[in-house]
Amino acid sequence: PIRKVPKSKIVIPTRAQFAKLVEAIRQADIRAKPAGDLVELLGYSGMRLGEATNLTWEDVDWARNAFTVTGGERGTKNHGVRVVPLFPALQELLKRICGDTNPAPTARVIPIDNAKRAIITACQKAGLPPFMHHDLRHYFCSNAIEAGIDFKVIAGWLGHKDGGYLVAKTYGPLRDEHSFEMAKRDRKSVV
């Protein structure tokens, strides 16, 4: 019989860990600014790395308060284009990145392709688990679930075409802190 190798457990940053990660990256030096922006973009949007690094200013629709995920020339993993709301933290980040400049519509929002080295260094310096780009997608998804957003809606934002099955399966076991907070709310109604 072939023994299955268990999948490694997903490590989802807490809100405090995410804030600490961003702060540690931003404190590194001025060259780390785009890395900090990318980390925040991933955490506030739920995009995959390639989707986030290919986001252009013309993909941001301020009037509709939304952004379009195209994945650039390579496209998205599921070969689809999706429109996602500009959540408040994401809107604030994009305004901060844009600043007083008037970037070209085809200019990328984030000028780098990844923040791997900055994330690894920041995690080590801040005493955090070794987070990676994709963990920030998990962070976004977990926050959305904890906010009470329907799995099907979250799946659409993430570009999943399964109606929320993968979101429920992957993120059903939420961060422990949220689980314990929910249990404190009303223990009488559980059993």
The one-letter amino acid at 137: R
The answer to whether the CB of 51 falls within 8 A of the CB of 69 is: yes
Contact 41, 110 (CB under 8 A): yes
Distance of alpha carbon 28 from alpha carbon 19, whole angstroms:
15
Task: Point out which residues pair with 60 in neighbouring strands.
Answer: 67
| Per-residue pLDDT tens listing for the chain (191 residues) | 677 666 667 789 999 999 999 999 999 888 899 999 999 999 999 999 999 999 999 999 999 999 999 998 888 888 889 999 999 999 999 999 998 888 999 999 999 999 999 999 999 999 999 999 999 999 999 999 989 899 999 999 999 888 887 888 777 655 556 555 655 665 555 44
Angle (nearest 5°) at CA 170 between 92 and 164? 75
Q: What is the pTM of this model?
A: 0.86
Residue 31, judged by CB atoms within 10 A of its CB (0-12, 13-18, 19+), counts as exposed
Using the Cα atoms of residue 151, residue 171, residue 155 and residue 4 in order, give the sign of their dihedral. Answer: negative
| φ and ψ of 165, to 5 deg | -60, -50
* DSSP 8-state class, residue 187: G
